[in-house]
Amino acid sequence: MENSSKKRIFHKTLHGLNNQGATCYLNSVLQLLFMTPGFHERLKPNIKTDQVLKTLFDNLKEGPCETKAITKHFQIEDVYKQCDAAEYLEHILSGTGRPASELFRGELSYSTKCRQNHIINEETNAFWTLPLPLKDQNSGVFSVEGGLQRVFMKKSFTGDNKVFCEDCDGNTEAERACKMNVAPQVLVLLLKRFAFDRNTGSHVKSNCTVEFPSTLQLQEKSYDLYGIVDHWGSLRSGHYTALLSNDGQTWFKFNDQHVQQELHNPETPARLGKEI
């Protein structure tokens, strides 16, 4: 999701990316970055990753493209190995220059205090993607807005879960709060469908439907939805596609080298179906 104040980019024709084997995860992320407002202008020619991305994006404006230069740059030797799109987005951003990656950078702070307002623990973490666990949503509908509210909801430690406070010199009741110190200009929400099941000793996927608004209000910032990276299938066998818009009205599905226009009503909440 992009900051509502950002100008959108417009392309007369949108083109696909060749799949080298199982590089759909890479193609989806690259198309997302290609459609991100302000990202192109921040790429610096003196930074290798930025240069490789800029060359690809310039070519992508003209027609369908190969991604061999990208896989070579990121040392992807096995193009038939399935990888996680969210992890690869962070991998790409870690290699880009600060002006480009700064678009996605946010910062969360966590603070645990006892009932006497003594600080038990404080930490600050930067992020490029904000995870929303879906492990407890095996059926029904998961609300992105509700999931975000739970991220910033205070957590209480009482009863057997009391924590030790040095100032109180003993276990005490406490609260843990999460605060957004820095809101990113482009907000990436990671829907964590896969979780480890202790009963089976394996990872399972939540197949619930996900509902989210076209415009999301987070603290003092407003974000407009412009891109979704979808995963179809299981942990060991699946496929990534991307649903992207360059004007907030018309949406396109990017399935490797294939690009087609999708119908979408921007006035109603969007949904990701159970197969995604």
Q: pLDDT digit string (tens) for 226-273?
A: 999 988 876 667 899 999 988 777 899 999 999 998 865 544 445 544
Q: Is residue 171 part of a domain?
A: no
Q: Is residue 33 part of a domain?
A: yes
Per the structure, the complete domain to which residue 31 belongs is given by 2-105+127-143+184-272
In sequence order, which ranges of the chain are alpha helices (DSSP H)?
24-34, 39-42, 48-60, 68-73, 85-95, 98-101, 144-151
> Which pTM value belongs to this model?
0.86
Name the phi and psi angles at 235, rounded to 5.
-65, -40
What is the CATH number for 75?
3.90.70.10
Q: Which residues contact 270 (CB under 8 A, 6 or more apart)?
A: 211, 212, 213, 214, 225, 228, 264
DSSP letter at 17 equals B
Q: Is residue 122 part of a domain?
A: no
* Mean confidence (pLDDT) of the chain: 86
Identify the weakest region by mean pLDDT among 149-153, 172-176, 207-211: 207-211
Task: Please tell me the total count of domains within the chain.
Answer: 1
Mean pLDDT, rounded, for 115-137: 88
Name the phi and psi angles at 117, rounded to 5.
70, 20
Rounded Cα gap, residues 207 and 191, in angstroms: 11
141-158 residue pLDDT tens: 888 888 898 899 999 999
Q: Is residue 176 part of a domain?
A: no
Rounded Cα gap, residues 122 and 137, in angstroms: 30
Q: Is residue 154 part of a domain?
A: no
Q: Which residues contact 151 (CB under 8 A, 6 or more apart)?
A: 130, 132, 178
Q: Is residue 31 part of a domain?
A: yes
Q: Is the pLDDT of residue 136 over 60?
A: no
Q: Is residue 120 part of a domain?
A: no
Q: Is residue 172 part of a domain?
A: no
